[in-house]
Chain A
Amino acid sequence: MTDAPVLTLRGIGKDYGRTVAVDAVDLELRRGEFVSFLGPSGSGKTTTLMMIAGLQTPSRGEMLLQGRDLGPVPPYRRNIGVVFQNYALFPHLSVAANVAFPLQMRRVGRTEMARRVGETLALVGLPDHGARLPAQLSGGQQQRVALARALVYQPPLLLMDEPLGALDKKLREQLQLEISRLHRELGITVLYVTHDQEEALVMSDRIAVFNDGRIEQIGRPQELYEHPASRFVAGFVGESSFIVGRVTSAAANRVAIETAHGMLCGHPATSLAPGDAAVLAVRPERVGISEEAAGGDRNVVHARLVEVIYLGQSRKFMAALPNGEIITGLLPIALAADDLAPGQTVDLTWRASECTILPDH
């Protein structure tokens, strides 16, 4: 971790006419890291990836690959591996010829080429498929070929643009694990674009959450989940319920806000001052139902159940606060009373240290 970052982005942005697709993105990618770009479609994550690949020209900012400025380098001299969403396998070339293509471009000798193509196909689990055409493979196999083609020339950086988007859930989960394995075994540095938060949580060392052409927050999965820095992140990564209010007192790790349901406390995401508009975000699994009012560390609100859903392992419920705000909770089946029913009024409770107070814009 002491060496220079593999990739550095400084204020990278892209405009299409007057619309801003990517505003300004800063990022440092360390060697061997697996970083995901997570965000809704249109948030600029793919455009950022394509700028790194050299397929889109940035409107501003600077990109360095291993310390070298990428600006003037055309895509075919960047030596970056890219796996595309729809694989982009050359339909007229066999699997082996697809994988050999980047080596031919690099004028690798014939025997060396055959060896590396064979090795790489074996690595992705397709040692005997070299002679086939892409159209003769299943979607998952095509994905592996695309991966092999991007890995065969050992690029310092591998970009993947929603590579599993077209596959069904089961295959997707299997390939997630496989990509993670390849990442570990080969020690490659990966930038991975996805809109699936679960996928990002499973695979990444760090996740960069994109919103409106910016990185809203970047951090380890657990950090992101437990300490979201904005309302958007709290809502996009995992599920959260929100209660709006105004800050009355602020300390380093405890903020109190005045809400329509009384005074509530939580862990501040950023520094907040009394009087600021704020919103409390709480995860469903942190919300409990209590008969007796708990004191001290716990927040309590009075609510009416509107929906109770049986999920097998757990019971999910939604409760409406008097002003219409909805709190979602998830109770393990062992703790959920069987007689929970819509219409009941309940006290919802959670620890102040287990919810986050975010600035509200």
Chain B
Amino acid sequence: MEPVAADLTGAGPTSRASHLLLVLPATLFVLVVFALPVAWLLSRSVSDPAWGLDNFRTVLREPVYLGLMRNTVQISVATTVLCVLLGYPVAHVMATCPRLTRLLTFVVLVPFWSSVLVRTFAWMVLLQNNGLINRALLGSGLVRQPIEMIFNRTGVLIGMVQVLLPFVIFPLYGSIRAIDPALMPAAACMGATPARAFLRVQLPLTIPGLTTGATLVFVLSLGYFVTPALLGGRRDVVIARMIQMEIGQFGDWGVAAALSLVLLVATLSLLGFSRLLVRRGRPT
């Protein structure tokens, strides 16, 4: 219909100014405390200690940095795959079994709201060589030597997947919920076995949620360092941890800035790409 509520939110010539006035404080705050400093940081990748691309040469050529980028990508890929595999059934049950929705939402919200450090710490307690799990295994006589579950890739993945699972479960839950509940019975009526109905009907319809969730997990794992730092070994140093150490311990702002730029570009392009995929995949 005609544009009824167009120019009436404030009704009057002052409204545009008052809108801007309301947005201004937060905008200035974010600009001064966040946007400009981050830009300043990134600019140091070409200016610190001297002008030029030396920092990028270092970061993109030296085996140390290439190695930690490989670590980061490997960990992120593995985490994403595991999160999707474990998260899908949970989201499915959450969306299709109304009696369990509340309970499961709670189960997923609790870790979502609690500190990453605390959750990672809990795994340290459980997974150490003299931690609970190994003690139980040794005590029961199942193993003779403690299983190494910490300070290696296994530990990192156990922790990361637990930390990031909610980020794939919530978007998936949303997209499964959005499916017309008549579709799966309809597929069954047309002779599809449950497995085929799932593969041909539900899975394609949840691709946008899956893409969103998987991208989120991937992007967040790229930038995480708490869990790898605590549960990983010497060979599990990731980009984010390196940035923190470059600044905190070595004071090498140039390299830290170059690594930051690499991380930021990777993150933003992945997010943009995923958004494009989701938008294109959405039926109009």
Contact = CB atoms under 8 A, between A and B. Distances in A.
A85 to B, nearest CB: 8
A55 B4 CA distance: 8
B2 A75 contact: no
B7 A57 contact: yes
Interface string B7-29: 11001100000000000000000
Contacts of A44: 2
Contacts of B5: 55
Q: Is the interface of B mostly helix, strand, loop or mixed?
A: loop
B1 interface: yes
Contacts of A85: 1, 4
B11 A21 contact: no
Contacts of A55: 4-5, 7-8, 11
B141 interface: no
A334 B2 CA distance: 45
A54 interface: yes
A310 interface: no
Interface residues of B, number: 10
A47 B2 contact: yes
A46 B2 contact: yes
A200 B235 CA distance: 80
A274 interface: no
A311 B220 CA distance: 67
A54 B11 contact: yes
A46 B12 CA distance: 19
Contacts of A41: 1-2
Interface string A312-351: 0000000000000000000000000000000000000000
Contacts of B3: 16, 21, 47
A290 interface: no
B1 A56 contact: no
Contacts of A57: 7
A57 B3 CA distance: 13
A42 B2 contact: yes
Interface in A68-100: 74-75, 85
Nearest to B2: A46
Contacts of B276: none
Interface residues of A, number: 17
A46 B4 contact: yes
B118 interface: no
B6 interface: yes
A59 to B, nearest CB: 11
A55 B7 CA distance: 7
Interface in A250-309: none
A101 B2 CA distance: 27
Nearest to A47: B2
A41 B6 CA distance: 16
Contacts of B1: 41, 46, 85
B12 A56 contact: no
Contacts of A16: 3, 6
B266 to A, nearest CB: 42
Contacts of A47: 2-3
Interface in A140-165: 161
A50 interface: yes
B11 A74 contact: yes
A74 to B, nearest CB: 6
A42 B2 CA distance: 6
A212 B64 CA distance: 72
Q: Which of B1, B4, B6, B8 has the most CB of A within 10 A?
A: B4
A23 to B, nearest CB: 14
A21 B12 contact: no
A46 B6 CA distance: 12
A45 B4 CA distance: 11
Contacts of B6: 16, 56
Contacts of A42: 2
B236 to A, nearest CB: 53
Nearest to A86: B4
B161 to A, nearest CB: 42
Interface of A: 16, 21, 41-42, 44-47, 50, 54-57, 74-75, 85, 161
20 contacts: A16-B6, A21-B2, A41-B2, A42-B2, A44-B2, A45-B2, A46-B1, A46-B2, A47-B2, A50-B4, A50-B8, A55-B4, A55-B5, A55-B7, A55-B11, A56-B6, A56-B7, A57-B7, A75-B11, A85-B4
Given A42-B2, A57-B7, 16 more contacts: A16-B6, A21-B2, A41-B1, A41-B2, A44-B2, A45-B2, A46-B1, A50-B8, A54-B11, A55-B5, A55-B8, A56-B6, A56-B7, A56-B8, A85-B1, A85-B4
Interface of B: 1-8, 11-12
